Amino acid sequence: MQKNGKNVPGVIIAGLRGGSGKTVISLGITAAWKEKGFKVSSFKKGPDYIDAGWLSKAAGRPCYNLDTFLCSTATVKQSYIEHSKNCDICVVEGNRGLYDGIDTDGSTSTAELAKLLGLPVLLVLDCTKATRTMAALVLGCIKFDPDIRIVGAILNRVAGKRHEQKVRVNIEKFCNIPVFGALPKLDADDFPERHMGLVTSEEHAFSDKAIQAALQIVRDNVDLNGLYDVLVPDESSVDTITEEIREVTLENRHAGPERVTIGVIRDSAFQFYYPDNIEALRKLGAKIVFISPLKETSIPDVDAIYMGGGFPETHAPELAQNQRFRDSLKRVSEKGLPIYAECGGLIFLGQSIRLEDQVYPMSGVFPIRFGLCKTPQGHGYTKVKVVHENPFFKTGEILKGHEFRYSSILAIDYTEDEMAFRMERGKGIIDKKDGFFKQNTFGTYTHLHALGALSWAPSLIEKAMAYKISKS
């Protein structure tokens, strides 16, 4: 087998809908192949951080997001090639249903990603209270787009051997594809759910146990050898890297003696980071220092701070108790340290967050008071236009991202020119506005991907360089 990123076997694991069980099966297959000694490269289709975190844990290496809304198709293809070239096999977990996208053409769907990468599809079928009908659904998926190569299926949530046999025989007879396994219903204790999906692997106290549970159930119920044998790479996916791909490559133009240090706020409260974002900063010459607001009491000597999202609400008491860190963050912000924060990071920059009847103080950098709701307050892809001068983006820029939040704005004190973004798609902070900033501190609900928002990493580096020079 050639390991050049173009001939590495790979598979996209897809479902007929969200919640069909493809994440647990993807985890189990990834962990099982890793156990066999394979170097497994894992990917998550779409912007999701949580599933990617679990896949990273199962593979023992970073999981990369592939998203054709956030990034160009050339960039997505190059990312897949680059991050799979030194591996033995690739596992790509799809999202939602196989053909679900943002429009009737199915653009941004898992199916379109499969065609882009030339990868076969393994269908995960939730067989709850259905038998022969599952064959009709699979046949529909096969006929719907003949360019999609569905190589097999795994049955999920079967009620027993009799149920499994009925579904298996019908699929193999009418769809002419193999069934590689059948899984019973999993105990909810193995993978507790919160919000729209799984809890993060960092938050789950039994994450290793959960991965082992997925591994064991796949080991016991899936024909991994048979699945591996059908994963013959599609040679049509081997393309010369285009000019568009070369344009998005981040060069090490800032590497050398003028190196900057960027503090990344990361612990169990803040862990939503695309590996590509951290790598983009490193490629531009940044030394990355990880900082924990849960464990540390002050901000170290850094030239900028990047604060990702997460679930600060689940750690609100601990964050509130660490007053020394909160005060330190506010002080460096007032001194002009460049700070870029997304979603959960934005909340931590606010005055407080209310959880039921309890109010927990945050860092107090922004005059925003947050609450928490039981239903999503912003969910899906975003598109913003930069309409006001700000520390990080040029006016007139169009940026694509995504938002997913349960937090709400209880109170905010701002002027129009303190909101950099006008939302062309999505909700933002308030009244279709996002990107709140004061001095060099910037907070937004919109998550950006560095390979899609090409100005993000260079602008953060440039602000860090300017701040470093100002200190000398």
Helix count and strand count (H, E) for the chain: 14, 24
Within 10 A of 192 (CB to CB), how many other CB atoms are there?
12
Residue with tokens 């023992």: 60
SS3 185: coil
Contact (CB, 8 A) for 125 and 150: no
Contact (CB, 8 A) for 347 and 362: yes
SS3 400: strand
From the number of C-beta atoms within 10 Å of its C-beta (0-12, 13-18, 19+), residue 248 rates as middle
Supply φ then ψ for residue 157, to 5 degrees: 60, 45
Within 10 A of 436 (CB to CB), how many other CB atoms are there?
27
- Catalytic residue status for 343: yes
For every residue of 298-326, DSSP letters joined together read S--S-SEEEE-EE-GGGGHHHHHH-HHHH
Can you list the positions of beta strands (E) in 301-451? 304-307, 309-310, 339-342, 352-355, 358-361, 368-372, 378-386, 398-405, 407-412, 419-425, 433-438, 441-444
Terminal alpha carbon distance of the chain: 53
Given 87, 90, 175, 343, which residue is catalytic? 343
Comparing CA positions, the residue from 91, 171, 193, 93 lying closest to residue 127 is: 171
d(CA 452, CA 180): 36
Catalytic site residues?
343
